[in-house]
Chain A
Amino acid sequence: MTTTLTPPPVDVSRELYGARLPTWGPRAVITAAVAAAAAAYAVGVNLLQAALLAWVICMVLPLWSAAVEGRRKATDRLVTTLVSSAFVLAMFPLFSILWTVISKGTKVLSAEFFTNSMRNVVGEGGGIYHALVGTLLITGAAAVISIPIGIFAAIYLVEYAEGNRLSRWIRFLVDVMTGIPSIVAGLFAYALFVLFFGEGVRMGIGGSVALSVLMIPILVRSTEEMLKLVPNELREASYALGVPKWRTVSKIVLPTSLAGIVTGVTLSIARVIGETAPLLIIVGTTDSVNFNLFDGRMASLPVFAFASQRNPGIPPEFSIDRAWGAALVLLIIVMLLNLIARLVSYFFSPKGER
């Protein structure tokens, strides 16, 4: 028996152009969701429930798409919606923190706030000069200690010890160190300094050591990743010119990855500059300016904010305002550092690749 197989006639236009939601569809749904949430908020529903309402309305989009466009596109829209809402959810804490700190912190910012210490200040007035100096000195010293150690360790791991047993151990320990709670770093620094200076020691440099313990693993990891990104061909090109290994590392590998390394350094500084617990243990706090890292207590912005909030005195509001002010200044410093990291990676990245 023979059968002739005639394919059913295909309507090309139908095959290629399925039904589609209008291009304004997604935007319309989002606008409707936001409008509904705003309206609900206006009539007294609380913010959380209003946001939830908006999210539920957004879920109309995949359903609508399923009805019009079919299953594949509906799945696409569903996943897009889920991913976007995860992003929005992640942005909430960020904007919430920024908003709170900025709205509560800006009112105390003044020239006086930056140039006065808290020495002999009760109630209104005073400033964060002493804490600013302390934070910059302690973090600066921490950077001076950890940057060479971190970068050299990373160079060792990538350039000199690829895959040997020692490097695997170092990598493992660095990973463990990344997870050290900051309070443990503070206790370590305190225990170390007690060995030399006896019980009850308070020193800015101790805080720097504690911060270095936190900074070094971050630096090693980020620098390592940056060095690994340098193509092996460049190293080989350099060796083939009869350049010794150490010159290859210092003149080819490091300059090529400089932008990434500097970014890593800046971000690691930003990471530790807000640490409170270790400084509380080994540095303490004070009301006066102390420029000497090696002698006595020093104030720092995070500890100052903590202490002002904890023991505000009577009346409390001035002290609490100063705590918000210190938090805002800290936030600004961190943002400036991030900005610097951006600029550095822009200006230092290899020419021709921008």
Chain B
Amino acid sequence: MAKSIDVSDLNIFYGDFLAVEDVTIPIAAKSVTAFIGPSGCGKSTFLRSLNRMHEVIRGARVEGKVLIDGQDLYGADMDPVNVRRMIGMVFQRPNPFPTMSIYDNVLAGQKLNSKRMKKTEADDIVERSLRSAGLWAEVKERLDRPGSGLSGGQQQRLCIARAISVEPEILLMDEPCSALDPISTSVIEDLIHELKTQYTIVIVTHNMQQAARVSDETAFFNLSGVGKPGRLIEHGRTEAIFSNPTDPATEAYIQGRFG
């Protein structure tokens, strides 16, 4: 089910500004890859270019190749809408739809695309997604309540449930825990471990321990100065990056000497 990602020579622009330069990285299927690096180094920009959310911003464009199981994501006949159905995304701040109930939020991907389904089928999807997101026990009594009434951590898990209810191949997470307390964070980290068996997961994080805990592979991004493009400095097995980085900048960052 899950698919691998193969990025080669990717340059990402905002208008004329080169934000991320020359990224080449393979991401294996059914693995968790963490992107770490200082603020403004283009981790999130790169993540967003993996499901073509990047081009939602005016003037943003991409050069280079992103292959999903060998298919070019930016090929001329690729529809960004279909790409995003295949590659789900969880954002930094929980963003449940305020006009919808918890139930409808989970089914948002289906409902917004006017997919017809039986009530039992819909109930199944809601329960399965909420169980996978570890939220079922907390909300099963109040599925018809508005999603915005939940706590921050619950809202974020609701957003994860929403993202996995459409059964994507790949799940992108942009600092999913940065607005959450340690308990909610550990719930979501456990969740990432479980989801790994079905999905390819890419996560951006500022939390080094989190990267070390959840990921199989780690990629370190850095930028050489203000106004310069961000670059991928190195990537590899998480244990290797954390115990024996090849680049001195990586070592300095991981040990907290800068950034």
Contact = CB atoms under 8 A, between A and B. Distances in A.
A244 B81 contact: yes
Nearest to A351: B146
Interface residues of B, number: 35
B88 A350 contact: no
Given A234-B97, A236-B95, A351-B98, A241 B146 contact: no
B112 A247 contact: yes
Given A239-B53, A241-B162, A242-B113, A353 B148 contact: yes
Interface string A254-266: 0110000000000
Contact of B88 (A233, A236, A240, A255): A240
Interface string A213-256: 00000000000000000010111111111111001100110011
Interface string B98-117: 11010000001101111000
A238 B93 contact: no
Nearest to A162: B58
A190 to B, nearest CB: 43
A231 B81 contact: no
Interface residues of A, number: 25
Given A162-B58, A237-B91, A237-B159, A243 B113 contact: yes
A260 B89 CA distance: 29
A179 interface: no
A233 B163 CA distance: 14
A255 B51 CA distance: 26
Contacts, number: 90
Contacts of B99: 252, 255-256, 350-351
A46 to B, nearest CB: 55
Interface in A306-354: 350-353
B85 A242 contact: yes
A352 B163 contact: no
B233 interface: no
Interface string B193-229: 0000000000000000000000000000000000000
B97 A237 contact: yes
Contacts of B65: none
Given A162-B58, A234-B95, A352-B149, A240 B89 contact: yes
B112 A240 contact: no
Contacts of A350: 98-99, 146, 148
A241 B84 contact: yes
A163 interface: yes
B112 A252 contact: yes
A162 B159 CA distance: 28
Given A241-B88, A242-B166, A248 B112 contact: yes
Interface in A183-219: none
Contact of B91 (A233, A242, A244, A252): A233
B98 A353 contact: yes
A252 B95 CA distance: 12
B243 interface: no
B81 A242 contact: yes
Given A350-B146, A352-B148, A352-B149, A242 B95 contact: no
A162 B162 CA distance: 29
Given A241-B166, A252-B97, A236 B91 contact: yes
A352 B146 contact: yes
Interface in B132-153: 145-149
B120 interface: no
B95 A237 contact: yes
B112 A251 contact: yes
Determine which residue in A163, A234, A240, A352 has the highest number of CB atoms from chain B within 10 A of its CB, and name it: A240
B56 interface: yes
Contacts of B113: 241-244, 247
Contacts of A352: 98, 145-149
A256 B113 CA distance: 17
A180 B215 CA distance: 63
B81 A240 contact: no
B244 interface: no
Contacts of B111: 251
B112 to A, nearest CB: 4
Contacts of B51: 240
A242 B110 CA distance: 10
Nearest to A250: B112
Contacts of A240: 51, 53, 84, 88-89, 91, 163
Contacts of B145: 352
A150 B62 CA distance: 36
Contacts of A351: 98-99, 101, 146, 148-149
B58 A163 contact: yes
Nearest to A238: B112
Determine which residue in B83, B91, B99, B146 has the highest number of CB atoms from chain A within 10 A of its CB, and name it: B99
Given A237-B95, A241-B108, 7 more contacts: A233-B91, A237-B91, A237-B159, A241-B85, A241-B109, A247-B112, A252-B97
10 contacts: A234-B95, A236-B53, A236-B56, A241-B108, A241-B163, A244-B113, A251-B111, A351-B148, A352-B146, A352-B147
